[in-house]
Amino acid sequence: MLNGKTILITGGTGSFGKRFVEVVLEKYQPKKLIIFSRDELKQFEMSQKWNEKSHPCIRYFLGDVRDRDRLLRACKGVDYVIHAAALKQVPAAEYNPSEAIKTNVVGAMNIIDAALANGVERVIALSTDKACNPINLYGATKLCSDKLFTAASAYVGSQDTVFAVVRYGNVIGSRGSVIPFFLERRKTGVLPITDPRMTRFWISLEQGVQFVLKAFAETMGSEIFVPKLPSMNMLDLAQAIAPECKYEVVGIRPGEKIHEVMIGADDARNSLEFLNHYVILPQSVAVTRSHLYETAKPCPQDFEYNSGTNPWVLSVSELQELLSSTCEDLENSTMEWSTKGVPK
């Protein structure tokens, strides 16, 4: 699907972007692969591994998703866009709300405008579990972004541009995640635990990339794709990383939840279940399009995809197996977890 195509990824120097670039260069032959980001140092560092000499398709494009004109230029001749750029740190967004809105909401609008203006074929935007029933500003901005992308089809007209969203949980070992924080604090002999009940959905970078590629292949437009993922308890994670440490309960931070939700009860009526993932359809097309998904079944009316009630839970031993490669190399690991106990 990607062979001969020109692909642009915003936020391309982040954890997801680097893994996506690695997968695409290993498995496909794109015409161009454009890394769009605002950090020239990270682009320089990436170019030490992937540059135009070793990979003639690679391009590095400095720019910010807040800059509509720059995006219009960057998207010229582009076939596919992956929108991964975001301000995603919850405390930072709470303290700098206008900055989060400019990047996560206005940036999404700019991506849509640039894609439509340049006749881009497909756009996949990355979302987060925090966009479902949000209680913090980061989640609220990503919910706005999701709504913008799922509604963008209304502006397509006679064009063939398709917009969709991929929503998943915390990415194992990504920059700013809890794993590198725990690894650093392990040296002190004490790990801070926000709440022993806290659970999260978890996905590896490799799985995230593969799910985005799956969404590119299957989207008809306006869907939110949600993978079936395992949950983990935060205390179990601490025990898997540092069983010798003591644990200090410090309380949840502003904007945090005890459990995360990827499909809320109010979205269940418009959601379809597949073997390995769910699809949330906009209410405007849910009734007319549901019959097109022959392998899916409607979700129950009161269904909620919640990390606290998810039947697929990773044990401490599974977490230790999962983390074995992560502790050695947080950025380049291609972790896989056991599928034992995956709900049918």
At 287 the pLDDT is: 66
At 326 the pLDDT is: 57
Active site residue 130: yes
At 330 the pLDDT is: 42
The one-letter code for the residue type at 330 is L
Mean pLDDT confidence for 146-151: 96
Strand partners, 171: 203
Mean pLDDT confidence for 133-146: 97
Q: What is the DSSP letter of 232?
A: E
Q: Which of 73-82, 112-121, 175-184, 233-242 has the lowest mean pLDDT?
A: 175-184
Where does the pLDDT of residue 339 fall: very low under 50, low under 70, confident under 90, or very high at 90 and above?
A: very low
* Whether residue 343 has pLDDT greater than 60: no
Mean pLDDT confidence for 250-271: 92
At 325 the pLDDT is: 62
Reported as half-sphere exposure (CB side, CA atoms, 13 A), residue 25 has a value of 19
Catalytic residue among 130, 187, 297, 344, which? 130
Strand partners, 206: none
**In the structure encoding, which two tokens stand for residue 245, read together?**
């440490």
At 153 the pLDDT is: 84
Reported as half-sphere exposure (CB side, CA atoms, 13 A), residue 108 has a value of 25
Phi, psi (deg, nearest 5) at residue 270: -110, 15
At 5 the pLDDT is: 98
* Whether residue 232 has pLDDT greater than 80: yes
* Whether residue 311 has pLDDT greater than 80: yes
Query: Domain 6-169+202-228+262-308 class?
Result: alpha beta
At 82 the pLDDT is: 98
**Residues of the chain above pLDDT 70, percent:** 92
CA neighbor of 319 nearest in space, from 185, 226, 182? 182
CA neighbor of 121 nearest in space, from 163, 158, 155, 85? 163
Mean pLDDT confidence for 264-270: 93
- Average pLDDT score, the chain: 90
For 192, residues 6+ apart whose C-beta sits below 8 A from its C-beta are 185, 247, 248, 249, 250
* Whether residue 202 has pLDDT greater than 80: yes
Which three-class secondary structure state does DSSP give residue 255? coil
* Whether residue 141 has pLDDT greater than 80: yes
At 294 the pLDDT is: 80
For 312, residues 6+ apart whose C-beta sits below 8 A from its C-beta are 228, 229, 230, 231, 341, 342, 343
At 322 the pLDDT is: 83
Mean pLDDT confidence for 91-111: 96
Domain residues of the chain, as ranges? 6-169+202-228+262-308
Better-scored residue on pLDDT, 339 or 299: 299
Q: What is the pTM of this model?
A: 0.91
Classify each residue of 96-108 as buried b or exposed e, where b means 16 or more C-beta atoms within 10 Å of its C-beta: eeeebbbbbbbbb
